[in-house]
Amino acid sequence: MTAQKAIRTAVLIGVVWLSSVAGECQTGSLVAGFNEPPNVTIESPVDGAQYPSGATVEFEGVATDPNGCGGPCGMTGNSVVWSSDVDGQLGIGTKFNKSDLSIGDHTITLSATDPGGATGTESVGITILPHSAMPIVLSDAFDDGSLPADRWDLTVATSGTGQVTQHVEHRLQDGNPVGFRYMEHRWNPGPAFISVQHFYTAATYDPGTEGAIDHIAYSEDRRQFNPPFAGAAIGTLFIVEQGGTVYSMFITGGQFTSEQWEHVALPGLTAQDFTPAGLDFSASGTPITFGYARTNTINGTGVITTQHGIDNWRVEIHRE
Ligand SMILES: [Ca+2]
Ligand SMILES: [Ca+2]
């Protein structure tokens, strides 16, 4: 008798479970205690993300009902709703884009409701910044092996009685990491001075249309290879060109000797940090091209070569 009772109870539980699953899929009616809420995951945007005003924000998530349609069941359409605590409902479904979010901090919530009325949610925080609060970044990690002519222009100046030439190429290894921009200055014979100005041409910045510049942060990684004599140094400058004039400033000591990659950064640069005077970061300034320069003076004779590299060239333009 006891054994028969146990079997009957098990059968009844099985019947109830099956009917609840069938009811959920077809009619939305459920037996209390058997419906679990959907599992919800926001894949984009990520928590803490910042976007400039007007930027496209990609919304993508996954909602799964653990006991929908007879088992785990992906959800989409009207049952999956995105909202912002600032802008209200943003959209429905598991994937869409939006580019008109209000400036400010948002709590973004993805909410999925199953036919039985059980709801699963997940939230992330994002910030939409005023346009001027986002720095514009021009950078090159030299990791693609492209020819220098693709996005860099050279201006070479020499002086002195000797012969001096230069060579530049992008190498795919020995950078910091991966690729870097390799440079040589070669005397045959000296003495002579050489200045090579490298201008990044893939993008310029126009204060007149993009906004006055408050300050610039510049950084690069640099090293020397096989110095021709002990203490041989490479002159190093950050340069910008505006209206046909090249303005420059020395980078951290104005020269370097390191045979290891070293990182140098110049935060908080204003127009007054450059020579000659006249660089205009205001909204009446004309377009600016950014770059860097390497210089060498050799007083000796014979064939002398300096070899050096740059990686992670980076300019951050912070606007007023
Ligand atoms: Ca459910
Ligand atoms: Ca690199």
Among 32-36, 64-68, 218-222, 242-246, the range scoring the smallest mean pLDDT is 32-36
Confidence band of 182 (pLDDT split at 50, 70, 90) = very high
CA distance 78 to 304: 73
- The closest ligand to the CA of 116 turns out to be 1
Q: How far is the CA of 15 from the centre of ligand 1 (A)?
A: 18
Q: How far is the CA of 123 from the centre of ligand 1 (A)?
A: 20
Residue 50, amino acid: Q
Residue 38: pLDDT above 80?
Answer: yes
Segment 282-295 shows an average pLDDT of: 97
pLDDT for res 71? 80
Residue 219: pLDDT above 50?
Answer: yes
Highest mean pLDDT among 7-16, 30-39, 158-167, 287-296: 287-296
CATH number at 36-133: 2.60.40.10
Segment 145-164 shows an average pLDDT of: 86
pLDDT for res 301? 79
pLDDT for res 148? 60
Residue 21: pLDDT above 90?
Answer: no
Confidence band of 25 (pLDDT split at 50, 70, 90) = very low
Q: DSSP assignment, residue 8?
A: H
- The closest ligand to the CA of 119 turns out to be 1
- The closest ligand to the CA of 178 turns out to be 2
- The closest ligand to the CA of 73 turns out to be 1
Burial track 297-313 (b if 16+ CB lie within 10 A, e otherwise): bbeeeeebbbbbbbbbb
Q: Who surrounds ion ligand 1 at CB < 5 A?
A: 35-36, 65, 67, 114
Q: How far is the CA of 193 from the centre of ligand 2 (A)?
A: 29
CATH for the 136-319 domain, from 2.60.120.260, 2.70.98.10, 3.40.50.2300, 1.10.510.10: 2.60.120.260
Question: How confident is the model over 229-240, as pLDDT tens digits?
Answer: 999 999 999 999
Q: What is the maximum alpha-carbon separation in the chain?
A: 115
Q: How far is the CA of 114 from the centre of ligand 1 (A)?
A: 5
Pairing of strands 192-200, 245-256: unpaired
Segment 263-272 shows an average pLDDT of: 96
pLDDT for res 33? 57
Pairing of strands 234-242, 245-256: antiparallel
DSSP string, 164-209: EEEEEEEESSSSSSS-EEEEEEEESS--EEEEEEEEE-S--B-HHH
- The closest ligand to the CA of 33 turns out to be 1
Confidence band of 19 (pLDDT split at 50, 70, 90) = very low
Inter-residue contact 63 to 94 (CB < 8 Å): yes
Q: How far is the CA of 73 from the centre of ligand 1 (A)?
A: 9
- The closest ligand to the CA of 71 turns out to be 1
pLDDT for res 72? 86
Segment 204-226 shows an average pLDDT of: 96
Q: How far is the CA of 285 from the centre of ligand 2 (A)?
A: 32
First to last CA, the chain: 86
pLDDT for res 145? 79
CA distance 182 to 224: 10
Q: How far is the CA of 182 from the centre of ligand 2 (A)?
A: 11
Please give the model's pTM, rounded to 2 decimal places. 0.65
Residue 166: pLDDT above 80?
Answer: yes
Residue 247: pLDDT above 70?
Answer: yes
Q: How far is the CA of 177 from the centre of ligand 2 (A)?
A: 5
Question: How confident is the model over 151-160, as pLDDT tens digits?
Answer: 999 999 999 9
Task: List the chain domain ranges.
Answer: 36-133, 136-319
Among 18-27, 87-96, 127-136, 206-215, the range scoring the smallest mean pLDDT is 18-27
Q: How far is the CA of 251 from the centre of ligand 2 (A)?
A: 20
Segment 57-86 shows an average pLDDT of: 92
- The closest ligand to the CA of 79 turns out to be 1
Query: In this prediction, what percent of the chain has a pLDDT beyond 70?
Result: 89
**Which residue is listed with tokens 């009207």?**
78
Q: How far is the CA of 38 from the centre of ligand 2 (A)?
A: 44
pLDDT for res 149? 61
**Helix, coil or strand: residue 236:** strand
Segment 248-259 shows an average pLDDT of: 94
- The closest ligand to the CA of 261 turns out to be 2
Q: How far is the CA of 57 from the centre of ligand 1 (A)?
A: 29
